[in-house]
Amino acid sequence: MTEIEGGITTPLGFKASGVHCGIKRNNLDLALIFSEFPAVAAGMFTTNKVKAAPVMVSQRKIRRGRARLVVINSGNANACTGKRGFENAVKMCDIAARELGISSEEVLVASTGVIGEQLPMDKVEEGIKMAVKSLSSQGSSQVAEAIITTDKKIKQLAVETDILGQGKKKVRIAGVAKGSGMIAPNLATMLCFITTDACIARDALKEALQRAVNSSFNQITVDGDMSTNDTVIILANGRAGNKRIKTWRKKPTLRVEDENFEKFCKSLDYICIYLAKSIVRDGEGATKVFEVKVEGAPFPQDARRIARKVACSNLVKTAIAGASPNWGRIMAALGAAHTKVKPEKIDILIDNVLVVKRGEPAGAPLSDLRERLSKDEISMLIRLNQGDCKATFWGCDLTEKYVRINKRYV
């Protein structure tokens, strides 16, 4: 697998566009991602009980396992907008389908922005028409710009896999994402769209996406708040012409994988982890990124709960913001994760410096720790010494700027 220049239109057979239609005062605010050929599709969405209209519409449609177009707007979440909001989300799909001459069932929709406001559908309709006319194989950057809200940077990546297609051309996968605040495990106020020219079975694509999301977007936190609009969608149109990637069950308890399935998963994981870490790095008001690794847990869920609890702790996040070597906050957070940890067995390292040994101070110089905690990227390793399971979470510090951004966000 190799990183290559480009974005969402880098895989064969994809076009995209981004336009300004007036949802936002300035800046691009509506985007299309289009497969010129039929594609299999998979998606994952917010687990919040309060779901935005576009989430409900796309969840219903993606059950078919097929899609060719995603319509995305920023500046308005179309969430908590009732029957009218749902109808508007459907209408966005219908308008785009009509303009492109495809079935509305092949169109998915996503929105991000302010909650509780109806979409200005006259502007949206005109924007969709403009975006259809602007579709291009060079439209990746326009999509990346059109979907952001409080993001400071665009987030996109393309890779070539080690899977060979027709003419020995390598299968490509590309992704674009947005997200900066309201980021918490189980997806967040983030959108992510992935394209690939791989020929892959629907069930295999769905499983690969679930794996990738669980090891990336579900392993990050900015502020611990879960959004109404979280969406991750992948389209695979098969234009690379590789032998179809699939998985199947030989027996009820024996699952067999195509030799290229793991290669595909590895590349998809790489893209999703890159985009997830980019979201954390771009967190609202963030100045530092930190990684929490938990090792030696008795069960996988214990490792994950502890890593999440530490990464989400406001006391840990503010300590990192102030470069405070207060490792007691880490111990307190992990102890509140509702797992059967044994404090007397725990070791903690901050940037490879042992600060806790068997649950007690290891005597690390505070001045050294302050210096290490002043860096832009910080690592924490928590060794529970109670098993073989592990997990990793990524988070960012919590600063006064986060409060300033969100107290005025309307």
Whole-angstrom Cα distance, residue 215 to residue 32?
27
Tokens of 124: 């949206």
339 assigned binding-site residue: no
189 assigned binding-site residue: yes
End-to-end CA distance of the chain: 42
Please, are residues 146 and 110 in contact by the beta-carbon 8 Å criterion? no
Following CA atoms 216, 195, 151, 60 in sequence, which dihedral angle do they give, to the nearest 10 degrees? -80
196 assigned binding-site residue: no
| Neighbouring residues of 222: CB distance < 8 A, sequence distance ≥ 6 | 179, 180, 181, 182, 183, 184, 188, 279, 280, 283, 284, 286, 395, 396
Residue 2 among the catalytic residues: no
Please, are residues 380 and 293 in contact by the beta-carbon 8 Å criterion? yes
Pairing of strands 30-35, 14-19: antiparallel
Catalytically annotated residue among 10, 112, 189, 221: 189
Which is it for the CA torsion 196, 197, 201, 202, positive or negative? positive
Provide the residue type at 250 as one letter.
Answer: K
399 assigned binding-site residue: no
284 assigned binding-site residue: yes
| Neighbouring residues of 146: CB distance < 8 A, sequence distance ≥ 6 | 18, 19, 27, 28, 29, 30, 31, 72, 74
Helix (H) or strand (E) segment spanning residue 202: helix 202-214
DSSP-derived letter for residue 242 is P
Provide the residue type at 257 as one letter.
Answer: E
Q: Which residues are annotated as a binding site for substrate?
A: 149, 178, 189, 284, 406
Cite the active site residues: 189
